[in-house]
Structure 1
Amino acid sequence: MDYKYINQLLERYWDGKTTLEEEQILRSFFSQLCVPEELAKFRPLFNYEQTEPKTNCLGNDFDERIMSMIDEPQHVEAKRVRISQRFAPLFKAAAMVAIVLTLSQAAQLSFQSGKSTEGVPASYTQHPTSGASVALNDSLRRDSLKNDNIGTTVVPQMSQNGPTIIK
């Protein structure tokens, strides 16, 4: 048997171009007992209304119930918030900052007072050392090498008053 018309209706159905009458034709075709095997896979799609029981349907009075719930006045009471409740998070944050600063100061003082400079090289201490600067001596040596052509000689040794320049 040729089902050319049903195949054309199915193509139009998938394209969304069928009318309500054509969809009714498809429903009645797929509700028959004898449906070809190649079209049997579409049977549940068109028979769902007849096979599935109607559940979870809205009643006829649904609109009335919703409108009555909307029209009911609801008493809303304003909640009073005191200023201490409003600023409570700020107070907590300020307290945490104060605690952190206090603990960091205490830790810093305890580490500074517990320091011993015995056995620590002089370059690691924060206190200035007396005597000539190592960096200044190094720069004087470098300058003396560059200035040999001019005729002035810089003595690499540092005296108590600074570098000695000989002409």
Structure 2
Amino acid sequence: MDYKYIEQLLERYWEAQTTEAEEAILKTFFAQPDVPAALERYRPLFAYEEAQQSVGLGADFDERLLKLIAAPNKADEPMQQMQKTSPTLRVKAHRVNGGISFRPFFQAAAAVAIVVLVGIGAQKSFNRDKEAWDYNPNNYSDTYNNPAQAYHVVESGLNMFQRTASADSTKEQSPEVEKDPIVNEE
């Protein structure tokens, strides 16, 4: 049997481009007992939800829990006996001032900040002899002599961005970008 459709659905599933109906097709396919060996490794992924739905509490869970709550615990009996016979102790809580306990941390943070600021100042003073940024567009030179080659590089970068953006399943599908006929002339 040919499983190309399932393989295509899996490829679309990994790219986050499947619909809920297509994912249901994949789940029913992997729920079958006779899945090919090449696709067997994907079975646990699609069978996970079905397996988790069958896990649940038993019908007698509530009764057992109520019995445990109502029954006295044997381990607590010595503690209850001791509480009845021993006198009550009063404990005073000592209040800790937050400024005193955090003072070493603030001192360390201040020392780090001073070291960082001195380092930035030293770096700026040593790099003064370098040329400033040139913001004049007339001084820029082209990186490609052939406009068609430059267009091809830009187009491949935009296509890569489009593939990455289309993999986002939370984003709505946008219409295809029309190519500019003036730029396409080669």
- Report which of the two structures shows the higher radius of gyration computed on alpha carbons: 1
- The structure richer in helix per residue is 2
TM-score of Structure 1 vs Structure 2, range by shorter chain: 0.3 to 0.5
Give the TM-score normalised by the residue count of structure 2: 0.29
- The structure richer in strand per residue is 1
Give the TM-score normalised by the residue count of structure 1: 0.32
